Structure 1
Amino acid sequence: MVIHALLAAALAMTSVPAQTTVDCNRVKCLALTFDDGPGPGTPTLLKTLKKEGVKATFFLMGKKVEQLPSIAKQTLEQGHAVGNHTYSHPSLPTLLDNEILDELKTTQELIEQATGQQPEMFRPPYGHTDDRVLGLADQTELSQILWTGTTLDWKLRDAKKIKAAVLRLAQRNGVILMHDTVPATVKAMPGTIRELKKRGYHFVTVPTLLRGKGPEAGTSYF
């Protein structure tokens, strides 16, 4: 009996506490989002997020998922949200209807093949969109996710400047756009996340930020 009691105590000390649901009505939430992956730097970013206990949202390109399906799968398995970022990253309003649908549907299929799950969200490349694009996303059962602030990390390409941009853009219920394909962004994340935690932010996925009120197909958010 004593041995059983000691064993039970040891297990209790080593067990990982169950995650609690973040209530963004009560705490200061922030959604970090990463576009254009998966890429070579994505596994390093995933390690950082796991170490810091942070959940994020990744908008994946179809052709990148074709190249690195295991990383796409790992992203979802670690509890992050995954969205559609088209197959080849075109400016969607410049395309014909069937071309837009092909970009979205092909990527849906590739992400499902890699992860076992189809996304409910998409992000238009460059933020280029209009009512026609949104209507076609609705046909593909996708909501449209934009952002409240973009770091322009692809242009800065400097970890200190990217960190400063994130800290400047951070706001309650904000959605920050970055790219896990930019090495400086991956490098900037550990220090950036720690500073944001000091400022009282809780990191959530986009669906969590929507508080159960989405994402709904054909609706544009943020």
Structure 2
Amino acid sequence: MSFSKEHNPGGLMEATLKRLGEVDIVPSPGESKFVHPQTVMYHLDGRKRRWDMVAAHSSVGIILYHKQLHSLLMVRQFRPAVYASRWKEAREEGRPQPPLSAGFTFELCAGIIDKSKSLEDIAREEVEEECGFVVPVEAVRPVTMYVSSTGISGAKHHMFCVDVDDSMRTSSGGGLQDTGEAIEVLALPLDTAQAFMDDHSLFKSAGLLFGLLWLRTEKALAGAT
């Protein structure tokens, strides 16, 4: 599978691997700013039942379409939880600890809702921080809202779409390094999207798969009118 890496040459996976150090899995050392374990007690059929969950922020995701490249712009980054899951699988199957590259995932440009701003403003800021494109807030168009992690958090995920071209690019993106972000921006041509989706060796988020399907449908309908 080939992607265009020209959008963020300073944030390639190889560069991120050089920044990563030792990884360990330990009990939580204290309360998190982002997630809070909770237990929901409820009654069903007259019986008291329990459901363990995590209270988390809602989020935004952006289907970012590059008009000149006829491509979806997506991001790749190291996800510690993904790596921890691959490590757990390896232990259970008697395999050695996997390389750190096993923790990288392909995703949409996205971010949590932790500011007193409109959803469109938050989405616009994520496009600039992660992918390096400055877009007017009116160019951020709503697509849908769905509930993510229904069994764990039940948080809302608000999906938007934005069309960009090279005239809107002001930086290489890559996220905020001082907060630990190391984001690689990749362009996926729509005519290769099916092969990308069918490749089970590539770890992809559910939001990215939805975004690809939505974008391909939208462009096919636009071409038919």
Which interval holds the TM-score relative to the shorter structure? under 0.3
| TM-score (norm: length of structure 2) | 0.27
- Compare the two structures and name the one with the higher helix fraction: 1
- Compare the two structures and name the one with the higher strand fraction: 2
